[in-house]
Structure 1
Amino acid sequence: MNIDFGSQSQEALLTLVNTVMPFGKYAGTKLLNLPEPYLVWFHKQGFPSGQLGEQLASMYEIKLNGLEPLLTPLLYENRNAGRAAFSNSEDIETIKTRDKNRY
């Protein structure tokens, strides 16, 4: 299992987190959202060959070491939500004032 931490590391992490499981019980689920017991099963039975197997092995190590919360912001739906919140013309002070008045 090798994760490239060179110039392409950001893209590699984005790809890893947002890759969709193509088969099995969790087909259609992003690798980051796969349950840990499912990855443990693959670890015991053997990961598939190729890029998917490497990605599943990487995700197993990430979850095993409790690093999943660090990667959650990299999910495309989370990244897009963050951009949308600050993409309009409101400045940060307007947002703070508005939110302060809500509560």
Structure 2
Amino acid sequence: MIVKKLFLGAATLLSLTLSAPARSGIDCLDKVTEVITHSNGRTFFVTQNACSNYWCEIKGDTTFVKQAYATLLLAKATSGTILFRWQNLTSCDAKNEGYAVPEFIVLK
């Protein structure tokens, strides 16, 4: 009986793992060329690649916005590179639509 329960539990776990949605998005290294603080209270940025045609935006909870803003400023001031996770892109050569929001950013 115990072996049967373990087997059924393992089979269920395997089934859930195999049916989990594939992780979408792509991680891209990019350089920040502009950081914009707008009078509407929102923060935007421009990069050399993914956000070169339109402003991209930092949006989320207050802590994320503040940390991301500081990271963008540091990257701009030091010519540092940032790793962005873009859910809507399939290639790092692709361009974002206006006001695209990265899932996360990492200062490299």
TM surpasses 0.5: no
Greater Rg over alpha carbons, structure: 2
| Bigger helix share | 1
| Bigger strand share | 2
TM-score by length of 2: 0.27
